[in-house]
């Protein structure tokens, strides 16, 4: 059964002068799923989202949303959309309930405010002024404002950037709950774990183009049958590292970690232990893991997701 596509982006282009922020991207977002745009800062994720949210105009390309083909997002579309901006403010001297009431009034059929407040766990803060809220609480308020119209399509732009781990986990559970409720979510992030944890489909962007698309598992599998070995490398001498490189070709070392890729785990492990014995190196924090999206990005671009 083919799931209907709620949002389709066709050959979107946007440049600023000579810089191509987005250079012809296309993707489909199936309904009732989480679709993530993953990429480093400057990849064009936010620009793409802003065009889809209707606050930026593309230079060319089309959008098909809710079955309607458009050049630009219209007011009717906004009625059925919810948006969480990457950076947005609220009036500091308004109360939480007042903010919700204000946003509710923008839509034709908003949900009851108390219901949304409990959805984002802000019921006990309903009477608090915005300026007294913590960063995480403000972010939840922003989510509440994005959900007040019970939207079918939700955009979340970098929803957990700057949040502490607890707040980040709260946000993830909200996203899961939304997907379970049948919503379609388009998410942008530069956190690999977030993309892996939440997404049904991931679209990796770099320098304004899509370099890979697919379910997270597919992408890492495409990467090959390889296994990754990692250990702490901050105290290794350059000499020892060179010796290791001699036996294990696919080696990456930044200052903190040494990463080996291998298709033959037992053989590589043996070489590794030999090396550690001969060099007198202790293998600290040794882990063996599956390749992840970070590795995918690295292999595709030679750079890390997070600079």
Per CB under 8 A, contacts with another protein among 147-186 are: 149
Q: CB nearer to another protein: give 145 or 174.
A: 145
Piece of 75-83, 174-182, 213-221, 244-252 that binds another protein (CB under 8 A): 75-83
Q: Which is nearer to another protein, 185 or 296 (CB)?
A: 185
Cβ closer to another protein: 143 or 258?
143
Nearest CA to 60 out of 21, 30, 7, 5 is that of: 21
Binding another protein (rule: CB under 8 A), the pick from 57, 79, 218, 234 is 79
Contact between 189 and 196 (Cβ < 8 Å):
no
Residues 181-210 that bind another protein (CB under 8 A): none
| Backbone angles phi and psi of 241, in degrees to 5 | -60, -40
- Pick the piece of the chain touching another protein (CB under 8 A) from 104-112, 175-183, 193-201, 288-296: 104-112
Which member of 107, 121, 286, 288 binds another protein (CB under 8 A)? 107
Query: Per-residue DSSP letters for the chain?
Result: -PPPEEEEEEEEEEEETTEEEEEEEEEEEETTSEEEEE--TTSSHHHHHHHHHTSS--SEEEEEETTEEESS--HHHHHTEEEE-SS----TTSBHHHHHHHHHTTSSSPPPHHHHHHHTT-GGGTTSBGGGS-HHHHHHHHHHHHHTT--SEEEEESTTTT--HHHHHHHHHHHHHHHHTT-EEEEEES-HHHHHHH-SEEEEEETTEEEEEE-HHHHHHHT-S-EEEEEE-TT--HHHHHHHHHH-SSEEE-SSEEEEEES-HHHHHHHHHHHHHHHT----S-EEE---HHHHHHHHHSS-S--
Q: Which stretch binds another protein (CB under 8 A): 92-100, 190-198, 274-282, 295-303?
A: 92-100
Residues in 118-137 that interact with another protein by CB under 8 A: 129
Q: At its nearest, how many Å lie between another protein and the CB of residue 153? A: 12
Tell me which stretch binds another protein (CB under 8 A): 31-39, 73-81, 191-199, 238-246: 73-81
Pick one of 8, 15, 20, 78: the residue that binds another protein (CB under 8 A): 78
Give the Cα separation of 264 and 271 in Å (integer): 11
Using the minimum distance from each CB to another protein, give the nearer residue, 67 or 89.
89
Exactly one of 11, 19, 72, 88 binds another protein (CB under 8 A); that residue is 88
CB 81 to another protein: min, Å:
8
Q: How far apart are CA 8 and CA 167, in angstroms?
A: 31
Is 18 among the residues that bind another protein (CB under 8 A)?
no
Out of 57, 91, 164, 218, the only residue in the binding site for another protein (CB under 8 A) is 91
Span of 81-89, 235-243, 247-255, 260-268 interacting with another protein by CB under 8 A: 81-89
- Site of interaction with another protein (CB under 8 A): 53-55, 75, 78-79, 81, 83, 85, 87-91, 93-94, 98, 101-103, 105-107, 129, 142, 145, 149
């Amino acid at each position: 059964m083919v799931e209907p596509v709620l949002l389709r982006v066709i050959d979107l282009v946007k440049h600023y002068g000579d810089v191509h922020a987005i250079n012809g991207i296309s993707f489909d977002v199936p309904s009732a799923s989480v679709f993530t745009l993953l990429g480093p800062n400057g990849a064009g994720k936010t620009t793409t989202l802003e065009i889809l949210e209707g606050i930026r105009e593309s230079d060319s390309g089309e959008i098909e949303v809710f079955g309607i083909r458009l050049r630009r997002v219209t007011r009717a579309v906004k009625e059925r959309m919810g948006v969480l901006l990457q950076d947005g403010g609220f009036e500091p001297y308004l109360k939480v309930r007042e903010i919700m009431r204000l946003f509710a009034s923008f839509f034709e059929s908003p949900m009851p405010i108390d219901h949304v407040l409990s959805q984002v766990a802000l019921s006990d803060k309903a009477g608090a002024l915005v300026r007294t809220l913590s960063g995480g609480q403000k972010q939840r308020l922003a989510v509440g404002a994005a959900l007040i119209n019970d939207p079918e399509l939700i955009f979340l732009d970098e929803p957990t950037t700057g949040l502490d781990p607890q707040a980040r986990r709260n946000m993830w559970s909200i996203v899961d709950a939304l997907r379970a409720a049948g919503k379609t979510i388009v998410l942008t992030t530069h956190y690999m774990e977030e993309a892996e944890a939440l997404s049904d489909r991931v679209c990796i962007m770099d320098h304004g183009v899509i370099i890979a698309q697919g379910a997270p598992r597919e992408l890492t599998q495409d990467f090959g049958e390889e296994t990754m070995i990692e250990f702490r490398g901050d105290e290794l001498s350059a000499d020892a590292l060179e010796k290791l490189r001699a036996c294990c070709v696919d080696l990456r070392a930044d200052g903190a970690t040494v990463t080996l890729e291998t298709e033959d785990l037992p053989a590589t492990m043996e070489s590794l232990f030999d090396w550690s014995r001969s060099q007198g190196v202790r293998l600290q924090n040794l882990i063996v893991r599956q390749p992840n999206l970070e590795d995918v990005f690295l292999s595709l671009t030679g750079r890390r997701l997070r600079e």
